[in-house]
Amino acid sequence: MTDPSTDLAGTDQESLWDAGAAARYDTPGEGMFAPDVLDPAVDRLAALAGRGSAVELAVGTGRVAIPLAARGVPVTGIEISRHMVARLREKVDETVLPVVVGDMATARVPGEHTLVYLVFNTIANLLTQDAQVECFRNAARHLAPGGRFVVELWVPELRALPPGRTATVWYDEPGSLGVDTYDVLHQRVVSHHVRFDDGRATVGRTPHRYVWPAELDLMARLAGLELETRHAGWAGEPFTAESRSHVSVYRRPPHPSSAS
């Protein structure tokens, strides 16, 4: 089996999230910006942050961080794409939402925080297991004792692949189509976003490294974190074998551990 992300392997995240991608990212009131999608996430994160501060890894254009800050939670973002940060700055300034430009696996925000979070499948943008492990370690370094790291991620849909097939349709609406092509040998998937307008089709592709929940749990242990809860969504729905995504909450123990 060939690796469908081979031709995208050399594309760094900063190049992938260019000015065009940043301009198309926001869909106010629709998709991941719809109130029924966004509000439960902000509610849960605000409760987890409590009276402390939060760090959002891969803050993007501020979809979650801006409403969370409006709830009174001090939020600092980390974002590798200057184009995404420029879009964020059209909404709020540095005093409302500071941003550190850098890689979410290595960039640092000063201080200790009660919450670090990484939403909407973004840990899969890191294309190697090593980078994903470092992301967990970086999150742990930001946490005060007892603090939490929250990861929202989809469950790989390998059960939907019949023998000999390498693709699944994950989105099918008038005017748009989403197709994922899997390479199960290299644990890679490329998401194809097809949009139809006036008889013409445009295709955008993003590479990911998919991660199983159990693999995330091991990454957390390597970073000195413990799984606290896992639900199928932000409203606390039970996670089952049929769940297509999950929200996992990891906790740094109240007392120091020997993990680095």
Q: pLDDT for 36-78, tens place per residue? A: 899 999 999 999 999 999 999 999 999 999 999 999 999 999 9
Residue of 87, 101, 98 lying closest to 13 (CA atoms): 101
State the Cα–Cα distance between residues 78 and 61, nearest whole angstrom.
11
For the record, the structure tokens of 98 come out as 């500071």
Does residue 104 have a pLDDT over 70? yes
Tell me which of 129-143, 159-173, 174-188 is least confident.
159-173
User: What count of Cα atoms within 13 Å lies in the side-chain half-sphere of residue 52?
Assistant: 19
- 27 burial type by CB count under 10 A (0-12 exposed, 13-18 middle, 19+ buried): exposed
- Give me the mean pLDDT over the 209-213 stretch: 96
